[in-house]
Structure 1
Amino acid sequence: MSTTEPRATPPRVAAAERGSTLIADRVVAKIAAQAAREALDAPSGAPPHATVTVHHDIARVRVSLELGYPSDVAAQCAAVRARVAQRVEECAQMSVPEVDIEVEHLHSAHTRTAAGRDRRLR
Protein backbone atom coordinates (compact mmCIF):
# COMPACT_ATOMS: atom_id res chain seq x y z
CA MET A 1 0.00 0.00 0.00
CA SER A 2 1.14 3.44 -0.86
CA THR A 3 0.16 6.43 1.10
CA THR A 4 -0.63 9.63 -0.67
CA GLU A 5 0.87 12.67 0.84
CA PRO A 6 -1.13 15.88 0.59
CA ARG A 7 0.14 18.24 -2.09
CA ALA A 8 1.79 21.37 -0.96
CA THR A 9 -0.18 24.45 -1.92
CA PRO A 10 1.91 26.88 -3.95
CA PRO A 11 2.25 30.32 -2.40
CA ARG A 12 -0.24 32.92 -3.64
CA VAL A 13 1.16 35.55 -5.96
CA ALA A 14 -0.16 39.09 -5.70
CA ALA A 15 -2.35 40.12 -8.64
CA ALA A 16 0.04 42.90 -9.67
CA GLU A 17 2.90 40.40 -9.94
CA ARG A 18 1.09 37.74 -12.03
CA GLY A 19 1.61 39.37 -15.41
CA SER A 20 0.07 41.98 -17.62
CA THR A 21 -2.78 42.33 -20.05
CA LEU A 22 -2.10 43.94 -23.39
CA ILE A 23 -4.95 45.46 -25.38
CA ALA A 24 -4.25 45.95 -29.08
CA ASP A 25 -4.49 49.45 -30.55
CA ARG A 26 -7.21 48.28 -32.96
CA VAL A 27 -9.36 47.09 -30.05
CA VAL A 28 -9.07 50.47 -28.36
CA ALA A 29 -9.90 52.10 -31.73
CA LYS A 30 -13.11 50.05 -31.94
CA ILE A 31 -14.07 51.13 -28.42
CA ALA A 32 -13.43 54.76 -29.39
CA ALA A 33 -15.43 54.54 -32.64
CA GLN A 34 -18.39 52.97 -30.84
CA ALA A 35 -18.24 55.68 -28.16
CA ALA A 36 -18.25 58.37 -30.87
CA ARG A 37 -21.37 56.77 -32.41
CA GLU A 38 -23.01 56.79 -28.98
CA ALA A 39 -22.18 60.47 -28.48
CA LEU A 40 -23.81 61.52 -31.76
CA ASP A 41 -27.57 61.43 -31.25
CA ALA A 42 -28.57 61.24 -34.91
CA PRO A 43 -25.97 59.54 -37.06
CA SER A 44 -25.41 61.33 -40.35
CA GLY A 45 -23.22 60.03 -43.09
CA ALA A 46 -20.62 57.37 -42.57
CA PRO A 47 -20.04 55.96 -39.08
CA PRO A 48 -17.14 57.47 -37.11
CA HIS A 49 -13.69 55.99 -37.59
CA ALA A 50 -11.00 56.03 -34.91
CA THR A 51 -7.26 55.47 -34.89
CA VAL A 52 -5.36 55.02 -31.66
CA THR A 53 -1.77 55.03 -30.53
CA VAL A 54 -1.16 53.31 -27.20
CA HIS A 55 2.01 53.74 -25.17
CA HIS A 56 1.96 51.86 -21.86
CA ASP A 57 -1.45 52.77 -20.38
CA ILE A 58 -1.90 56.02 -22.30
CA ALA A 59 -4.08 56.16 -25.42
CA ARG A 60 -3.98 59.00 -27.91
CA VAL A 61 -7.14 58.92 -30.00
CA ARG A 62 -8.07 60.47 -33.35
CA VAL A 63 -11.71 60.29 -34.48
CA SER A 64 -12.89 61.09 -38.00
CA LEU A 65 -16.58 61.76 -38.45
CA GLU A 66 -19.28 63.31 -40.58
CA LEU A 67 -21.83 65.69 -39.07
CA GLY A 68 -25.16 67.15 -40.05
CA TYR A 69 -25.32 70.81 -41.03
CA PRO A 70 -26.44 73.21 -39.72
CA SER A 71 -25.65 72.13 -36.18
CA ASP A 72 -23.48 73.11 -33.26
CA VAL A 73 -20.29 71.46 -34.51
CA ALA A 74 -18.24 72.51 -31.47
CA ALA A 75 -20.77 71.03 -29.03
CA GLN A 76 -20.95 67.76 -30.96
CA CYS A 77 -17.15 67.50 -31.02
CA ALA A 78 -16.99 68.21 -27.28
CA ALA A 79 -19.58 65.49 -26.62
CA VAL A 80 -17.60 63.01 -28.74
CA ARG A 81 -14.34 63.89 -26.94
CA ALA A 82 -15.90 63.41 -23.51
CA ARG A 83 -17.65 60.14 -24.39
CA VAL A 84 -14.60 58.63 -26.11
CA ALA A 85 -12.30 59.47 -23.19
CA GLN A 86 -14.80 58.11 -20.67
CA ARG A 87 -15.44 54.81 -22.50
CA VAL A 88 -11.77 54.08 -23.25
CA GLU A 89 -10.89 54.73 -19.61
CA GLU A 90 -13.76 52.47 -18.44
CA CYS A 91 -13.32 49.61 -20.90
CA ALA A 92 -9.56 49.53 -21.46
CA GLN A 93 -8.33 51.06 -18.20
CA MET A 94 -6.21 53.56 -20.14
CA SER A 95 -5.64 57.24 -19.61
CA VAL A 96 -6.80 59.39 -22.54
CA PRO A 97 -5.07 62.80 -22.40
CA GLU A 98 -6.26 63.88 -25.84
CA VAL A 99 -8.95 63.06 -28.37
CA ASP A 100 -8.43 64.75 -31.72
CA ILE A 101 -11.56 65.20 -33.83
CA GLU A 102 -11.48 65.51 -37.60
CA VAL A 103 -14.77 66.54 -39.19
CA GLU A 104 -14.42 65.10 -42.68
CA HIS A 105 -17.77 66.17 -44.13
CA LEU A 106 -20.87 68.17 -43.29
CA HIS A 107 -24.22 66.89 -44.55
CA SER A 108 -27.25 69.07 -45.07
CA ALA A 109 -30.83 68.08 -45.81
CA HIS A 110 -30.80 70.89 -48.39
CA THR A 111 -27.92 69.37 -50.36
CA ARG A 112 -29.68 66.14 -51.34
CA THR A 113 -29.57 65.54 -55.08
CA ALA A 114 -32.40 64.14 -57.16
CA ALA A 115 -30.78 60.71 -56.96
CA GLY A 116 -31.07 60.81 -53.15
CA ARG A 117 -27.34 60.92 -52.49
CA ASP A 118 -25.66 63.56 -50.37
CA ARG A 119 -23.62 66.20 -52.09
CA ARG A 120 -20.81 66.71 -49.63
CA LEU A 121 -20.11 70.21 -48.38
CA ARG A 122 -16.49 71.17 -48.21
Structure 2
Amino acid sequence: MEYIDDSLSPTVLITTALAVATAALAATPAQAQDRSLWLYSGESTSVEGYLGYGETVYGSCDEDCMDMDLYLYDAFTGELVYEDSAIDSTPFVVAPWEGDFVIEVTMPNCAHPEGCAAWVSSDHGF
Protein backbone atom coordinates (compact mmCIF):
# COMPACT_ATOMS: atom_id res chain seq x y z
CA MET A 1 0.00 0.00 0.00
CA GLU A 2 1.32 3.41 -0.99
CA TYR A 3 1.22 6.27 1.52
CA ILE A 4 -0.11 9.56 0.12
CA ASP A 5 0.64 12.75 2.03
CA ASP A 6 -2.51 14.79 1.64
CA SER A 7 -1.30 17.79 3.65
CA LEU A 8 -1.20 21.03 1.73
CA SER A 9 2.14 22.37 0.59
CA PRO A 10 3.09 25.99 1.38
CA THR A 11 2.59 26.88 -2.31
CA VAL A 12 -0.97 25.53 -2.29
CA LEU A 13 -1.74 27.38 0.96
CA ILE A 14 -0.41 30.69 -0.41
CA THR A 15 -2.25 30.27 -3.70
CA THR A 16 -5.49 29.49 -1.87
CA ALA A 17 -5.07 32.47 0.46
CA LEU A 18 -4.45 34.81 -2.50
CA ALA A 19 -7.52 33.50 -4.32
CA VAL A 20 -9.72 34.01 -1.26
CA ALA A 21 -8.34 37.53 -0.68
CA THR A 22 -8.86 38.47 -4.33
CA ALA A 23 -12.44 37.22 -4.27
CA ALA A 24 -13.14 39.15 -1.07
CA LEU A 25 -11.78 42.38 -2.56
CA ALA A 26 -13.75 41.91 -5.77
CA ALA A 27 -16.96 41.51 -3.79
CA THR A 28 -16.64 44.87 -1.99
CA PRO A 29 -17.71 48.24 -3.44
CA ALA A 30 -15.06 50.18 -5.32
CA GLN A 31 -13.02 52.60 -3.28
CA ALA A 32 -13.57 56.29 -3.90
CA GLN A 33 -11.78 57.57 -6.95
CA ASP A 34 -10.18 61.01 -7.02
CA ARG A 35 -9.98 63.12 -10.14
CA SER A 36 -7.11 65.56 -9.74
CA LEU A 37 -7.57 68.87 -11.52
CA TRP A 38 -5.80 72.21 -11.87
CA LEU A 39 -8.02 75.24 -12.39
CA TYR A 40 -7.44 78.98 -12.64
CA SER A 41 -9.82 81.52 -11.16
CA GLY A 42 -12.94 81.66 -13.34
CA GLU A 43 -12.12 78.40 -15.16
CA SER A 44 -14.21 75.23 -15.38
CA THR A 45 -13.88 71.66 -16.64
CA SER A 46 -16.07 68.57 -16.77
CA VAL A 47 -15.65 64.94 -15.77
CA GLU A 48 -18.00 62.09 -16.61
CA GLY A 49 -18.99 59.00 -14.71
CA TYR A 50 -21.58 56.42 -13.82
CA LEU A 51 -23.19 57.06 -10.44
CA GLY A 52 -25.48 54.98 -8.29
CA TYR A 53 -28.76 56.30 -6.88
CA GLY A 54 -27.96 58.61 -3.95
CA GLU A 55 -24.21 58.51 -4.58
CA THR A 56 -22.46 61.67 -3.44
CA VAL A 57 -19.82 63.42 -5.52
CA TYR A 58 -17.77 65.87 -3.52
CA GLY A 59 -15.06 68.39 -4.30
CA SER A 60 -12.19 69.91 -2.41
CA CYS A 61 -9.33 72.22 -3.26
CA ASP A 62 -6.09 73.60 -1.89
CA GLU A 63 -5.56 76.47 0.55
CA ASP A 64 -5.54 79.10 -2.24
CA CYS A 65 -9.05 78.12 -3.32
CA MET A 66 -11.74 80.42 -1.97
CA ASP A 67 -14.70 78.95 -3.87
CA MET A 68 -15.35 75.79 -5.90
CA ASP A 69 -18.70 74.71 -7.34
CA LEU A 70 -20.13 71.45 -8.73
CA TYR A 71 -22.96 71.05 -11.24
CA LEU A 72 -24.42 67.62 -11.99
CA TYR A 73 -25.94 67.05 -15.45
CA ASP A 74 -27.77 64.08 -16.93
CA ALA A 75 -25.29 62.77 -19.53
CA PHE A 76 -28.04 62.00 -22.08
CA THR A 77 -30.32 65.04 -21.85
CA GLY A 78 -27.84 67.65 -20.63
CA GLU A 79 -30.36 68.68 -17.97
CA LEU A 80 -28.95 70.19 -14.77
CA VAL A 81 -30.18 67.90 -11.98
CA TYR A 82 -28.22 69.08 -8.90
CA GLU A 83 -25.87 71.90 -8.06
CA ASP A 84 -23.79 73.23 -5.21
CA SER A 85 -22.85 76.83 -5.93
CA ALA A 86 -22.48 77.99 -2.32
CA ILE A 87 -19.45 80.16 -1.63
CA ASP A 88 -17.21 77.50 -0.11
CA SER A 89 -14.40 75.14 -1.09
CA THR A 90 -16.16 71.85 -0.28
CA PRO A 91 -19.09 71.41 -2.67
CA PHE A 92 -21.08 68.21 -3.11
CA VAL A 93 -23.85 66.92 -5.38
CA VAL A 94 -26.02 63.81 -5.11
CA ALA A 95 -27.14 61.58 -7.97
CA PRO A 96 -30.97 61.54 -8.02
CA TRP A 97 -30.97 58.22 -9.92
CA GLU A 98 -28.53 55.60 -11.18
CA GLY A 99 -26.92 56.43 -14.50
CA ASP A 100 -24.36 58.37 -16.50
CA PHE A 101 -23.67 61.94 -15.44
CA VAL A 102 -21.43 64.88 -16.31
CA ILE A 103 -19.98 66.81 -13.38
CA GLU A 104 -18.98 70.39 -14.18
CA VAL A 105 -16.30 71.68 -11.82
CA THR A 106 -15.91 75.46 -11.60
CA MET A 107 -13.36 77.58 -9.75
CA PRO A 108 -15.00 81.00 -9.25
CA ASN A 109 -12.28 82.22 -6.90
CA CYS A 110 -8.67 81.04 -6.70
CA ALA A 111 -6.35 83.46 -4.90
CA HIS A 112 -3.14 82.16 -6.52
CA PRO A 113 -2.29 83.56 -9.98
CA GLU A 114 -0.94 80.15 -11.07
CA GLY A 115 -4.21 78.37 -10.27
CA CYS A 116 -5.46 75.96 -7.64
CA ALA A 117 -5.35 72.20 -7.20
CA ALA A 118 -8.79 70.63 -7.01
CA TRP A 119 -10.09 67.12 -6.45
CA VAL A 120 -13.41 65.48 -7.24
CA SER A 121 -14.33 62.17 -5.60
CA SER A 122 -17.39 60.01 -5.12
CA ASP A 123 -18.62 57.47 -2.61
CA HIS A 124 -18.04 54.47 -4.86
CA GLY A 125 -15.78 55.70 -7.65
CA PHE A 126 -16.99 57.01 -10.97
User: Does TM, normalized by the shorter one, top 0.5?
Assistant: no
TM-score by length of 2: 0.29
Q: Which is richer in strand? A: 2
TM-score by length of 1: 0.29
Q: Which is richer in helix? A: 1
